[in-house]
Amino acid sequence: MIDTVKNAEATPEVSQPFAELGLKAEEYQRIREILGRRPSSAELAMYSVMWSEHCSYKSSKVHLRQFGEKAPKTDALLVGMGENAGVVDIGDGWAVTFKVESHNHPSYVEPYQGAATGIGGIVRDIISMGARPVAVMDPLRFGPADAPDTRRVLPGIVAGVGGYGNCLGLPNIGGEVAFDPSYAGNPLVNALCVGVLRHGDIKLAHASGAGNLVVLFGARTGGDGIGGVSVLASETFDDAKPSKRPAVQVGDPFMEKVLIECCLEIFAADLVVGIQDLGGAGLSCATSELASNGDGGMHVWLDRVPLRDATLRPEEILMSESQERMCAVVEPEKLDDFLGICSKWDVTATVIGEVNESDRLTVEWHGEVICDVPPRTVAHEGPVYERPMARPPDQDALQASDPTSLPRPSTGDELRATLLQMVASPNLSSRSWVTDQYDRYVLGSTVLAQPADAGMVRVDEGSGLGVALATDGNGRYTRLDPYAGAQLALSEAYRNVAVSGAEPLAVTNCLNFGSPEDPAVMWQFAEACRGLADACLKLGVPVTGGNVSFYNQTGEVAINPTPVVGVLGVIGDVTRRTPLASAAGQVLVLLGETRDEFGGSEWAHEMHGHLGGLPPRVDLGAERRLARLLVAGSRDGVLRAAHDVSDGGLAQTLVELALAARTGLRVRLPEGVDPFVALYAESVARAVVAVAADAVESFLTGCADGGVPAAVLGEVGGVTLDVEGLFTVAVSELRTAADATLPALFG
């Protein structure tokens, strides 16, 4: 029988399974206080998913506030944090919206569908803002490359990202693939989407205007993903518990593609008052957030929801995370036009509710009221925790374990052998095995994609206006120093955008951490948020939105804290972009300063399996000066090619430059620096650029004026990477070494 509100009032003593739904006893008690009675089972379902860590940000909220409080002054932000995604002004009446989200746990349980629906969810967030999605990126992290579980999850995750994104017709323009033992059993699958819209087209998730209708459209509701939020995203995996496979959603990218086109046609005809996608927490989230953001209440006839499985109970319908669904608020006189467009695209659309003046969210099931709640208490006034924090007990020992004592290569032969091993390492080798499974050409506006430092798409075919995006994160740096590690992730993404010639404008982040109930993890989280907010302020790039993913751990062992930072930049004319590929005869110049910095480096990791010491010193002033020079150099055409220096140091940058140009490089390392340090240190704020031979002198003057250290490194040409006085490697040998690794591991 159905547990109605009346029944709940009459039977206060009934014991309810709040713990199984992921609620703590005090949270359940608070629901009883809000309602003045016990919740009905439908209300309990709704509160349990909306008050889950994933939906309520209850452990992170107090730290995330800094992103707003410390935000740099900017006129570029049209919509800030708190909506489905932030919206940034890029000029000429154009705006872009972008966001990165995690789908870590579902991808571990069911790699293909978990990754696929991760793309699907972030794309619907972007559509909800009124934008046309134009590109996706996917930062991925796995356990050791040769671990059996990595072989189980990686091919499926990559195929899922490709299978869904390719079928939606969205170019995949970049991302990351990294391996580290800390992600064993807990891969990180983050997905970023960027969309484009005109200023006037911004849509928000507001249900306003009594009498307006609530329309559910898209796929039918099924039993997939029920409890996904509370059970999957908010609890640690534990072998003792039963399989959680049924809680993973199944995606239908064809439905989503049709839904995108249908939504865009509806937006163009100006037929909605507000719109919200159905993702985590399904209808519970969509109805409560729309009502909470509106000016009144909402009544929902839940029995009108079209179902894939007629046996679903009302609680399950409220919690289902079936994919490819949207919820719109439509004025009654526009309903026919709205339904007409849905019918053109063969999209099922059903009026399931109405906005009213009640201030309550009421849900009816075959004539009986099963929910009667104040919507704000569900959507926005959930619990907030100030979790205890403590510096991890091993932090001091970790930082004291200095990598300077590790044996270093010094002779030419040793440096050559190191180079070849590093080039072929899982973290530095060619990503083509992964990225060739993604369509980077569809939509015809991809200007830069992998292996470029940043992805770039053209927004306006007339003017050439475009945007660039890069995502970066380094769990090892963040483990050694969370405050600095988060800043280093931002530094690198900011630098990568500038390398492409675009001016960095705004930030999104996906904060992947262990359990917030572990004080050591909470300390890492707090430090990372503080570091990121401080750095955003200094670099003048506001955070526009993002996502927190907690409980990334297996048993008691948390992953390396991994804030993944996405930076968006704007470029006035994409034909001025700086490519990765240089050409013979051009002169290479190293920008920035190299120090003996190896803590958390790729070299220490790959050659010694060592993690200790301190990460490279953050220098935001130097990053800002470097970016200014790179953007100006792109605009005035002096830079013919550029590549940043980061993981694997200058050596890896040179290798990637040679591979991209399919040409050799002749390099003389700067005098007075130990060749090993020059080649492998990971000091920040550095890049290698290529300029025409006759422009070198004036370029060096410009560098001096801009406060950027610069040194001529050599020139492009020949068929070998030639480091003068030390070693020579044929470009073909580098190609073979770089290309073989991932296919050998994953087929």
Partner 1 sequence: MGPRIGVVTFPGSLDDRDAARAVRLAGGEAVALWHGDEDLRGVDAVVLPGGFSYGDYLRCGAIARFTPVMGPVLERAADGMPVLGICNGFQVLCEAHLLPGALIRNDHRKFNCVDQALRVESTDTVWTNAFASGQDIVVPLKNGEGGYVADDATLDRLEGEGRVVVRYVGDNPNGSYRGIAGIANERGNVVGLMPHPEHAVASLTGPGTDGLGFFASVLTALLHDREWETTRKATDFTHDHETVARA
Least Å distance, CB 254 to partner 1, is 3
C-beta of 109 vs 255, nearer to partner 1: 255
The whole-angstrom separation of Cα 603 and Cα 678 is 13
Beta-bridged to residue 176, according to DSSP, are 139
Given 63, 103, 299, 610, which residue is catalytic?
103
C-beta of 322 vs 435, nearer to partner 1: 435
Amino acid at 614: L
The residue count of the chain comes to: 747
Identify the burial level of 311 via C-beta atoms within 10 angstroms of its C-beta, where 0-12 means exposed, 13-18 middle and 19 or more buried. exposed
595 CA to centre of own chain: 31
The whole-angstrom separation of Cα 438 and Cα 163 is 8
Least Å distance, CB 646 to partner 1, is 26
The whole-angstrom separation of Cα 155 and Cα 434 is 9
Least Å distance, CB 747 to partner 1, is 8
C-beta of 158 vs 178, nearer to partner 1: 158
The whole-angstrom separation of Cα 682 and Cα 677 is 9
- The answer to whether the beta carbons of residues 84 and 129 sit under 8 Å apart is yes
Residue 585 Ramachandran class (φ > 0 left, ψ -120 to 50 alpha, else beta): left
Identify the burial level of 609 via C-beta atoms within 10 angstroms of its C-beta, where 0-12 means exposed, 13-18 middle and 19 or more buried. exposed
20 CA to centre of own chain: 30
C-beta of 237 vs 345, nearer to partner 1: 345
C-beta of 186 vs 445, nearer to partner 1: 445
C-beta of 159 vs 351, nearer to partner 1: 159
C-beta of 105 vs 257, nearer to partner 1: 257
The whole-angstrom separation of Cα 217 and Cα 44 is 25
C-beta of 252 vs 354, nearer to partner 1: 252
The whole-angstrom separation of Cα 162 and Cα 745 is 19
Q: Is 54 a catalytic residue?
A: yes
Given 54, 206, 299, 643, which residue is catalytic?
54
Tokens (6 digits) for 731: 């470009």
The full DSSP string for 628-690 is: HHHHHHHHTT-EEEEEE--TTHHHHHHHHHHHHHTS-EEE-PPTTS-HHHHHH---SS-EEEE
The whole-angstrom separation of Cα 429 and Cα 348 is 46
C-beta of 12 vs 747, nearer to partner 1: 747
Least Å distance, CB 636 to partner 1, is 19
> Which residues are CB-neighbours of 700 under 8 A, at least 6 positions away?
589, 710, 712
Least Å distance, CB 169 to partner 1, is 3
The footprint of partner 1 (CB under 8 A) covers 159, 162-163, 166-169, 252-255, 257-258, 345-346, 435-447, 458, 574-575
Q: Running DSSP on this structure, what letter comes out for residue 381?
A: -
The owner of tokens 């990598």 is 403
Packing angle of the helix pair 412-423, 649-661 (nearest 10 deg): 70
Nearest C-alpha neighbor of 444 from the set 701, 173, 730: 173
C-beta of 172 vs 236, nearer to partner 1: 172
Least Å distance, CB 345 to partner 1, is 7
Least Å distance, CB 12 to partner 1, is 50
Phi first, then psi: what are they for 690, rounded to 5°? -110, 130
Give every strand in the sheet of 188-198, ordered side by side. Answer: 77-79, 86-91, 94-102, 188-198, 132-142, 172-179
The whole-angstrom separation of Cα 550 and Cα 559 is 10
The whole-angstrom separation of Cα 314 and Cα 370 is 9
Least Å distance, CB 386 to partner 1, is 47
Q: Running DSSP on this structure, what letter comes out for residue 615?
A: P
Least Å distance, CB 177 to partner 1, is 15
SS3 of 552, please?
Answer: coil
Beta-bridged to residue 637, according to DSSP, are none
> Which residues are CB-neighbours of 315 under 8 A, at least 6 positions away?
41, 42, 44, 45
Cβ neighbours around 136 below 10 Å, total: 27
C-beta of 166 vs 474, nearer to partner 1: 166
Tokens (6 digits) for 361: 């969210």
The owner of tokens 């040793």 is 414
- The answer to whether the beta carbons of residues 191 and 136 sit under 8 Å apart is yes
Least Å distance, CB 710 to partner 1, is 29
C-beta of 255 vs 710, nearer to partner 1: 255
Beta-bridged to residue 516, according to DSSP, are none
Cβ neighbours around 12 below 10 Å, total: 9
Least Å distance, CB 548 to partner 1, is 32
First to last CA, the chain: 53
Least Å distance, CB 165 to partner 1, is 10
C-beta of 229 vs 469, nearer to partner 1: 469
Residues assigned a catalytic role:
54, 103
